[in-house]
Amino acid sequence: MLGGIDSSLFLSGFAGFLVVVIFVLFLRWAFPSSKKNISKAHRKEIKKSLRELQRK
């Protein structure tokens, strides 16, 4: 196309951004953050056991 944009190149680039967004969402789902309440309780339990070990 003379003086215009290449539509197929634009669409493939735009699709690349969409794939990255979907990939990020998948990774966030697959590897949950450590800020969950379950994780906090587990970390608190580990710290408590470490303190007990250090006292001995």
Residues 17-47 have pLDDT tens digits of 999 999 999 998 888 766 666 677 788 889 9
Inside any domain, residue 2? no
Phi, psi of 53 (to 5 degrees): -65, -40
For residue 17, the enclosing domain spans 7-55
Q: How many Å separate Cα 31 from the centre of its chain?
A: 6
The three-state DSSP-derived secondary structure of the chain is: CCCCCCHHHHHHHHHHHHHHHHHHHHHHHHCCCCCCHHHHHHHHHHHHHHHHHHHC
Inside any domain, residue 36? yes
Domains identified in the chain, total number: 1
Q: What is the arithmetic mean of pLDDT over 11-20?
A: 93
Inside any domain, residue 1? no
Inside any domain, residue 48? yes
Say what the pLDDT of residue 3 is: 60
Q: How many Å separate Cα 17 from the centre of its chain?
A: 16
Inside any domain, residue 42? yes
Global pTM?
0.49
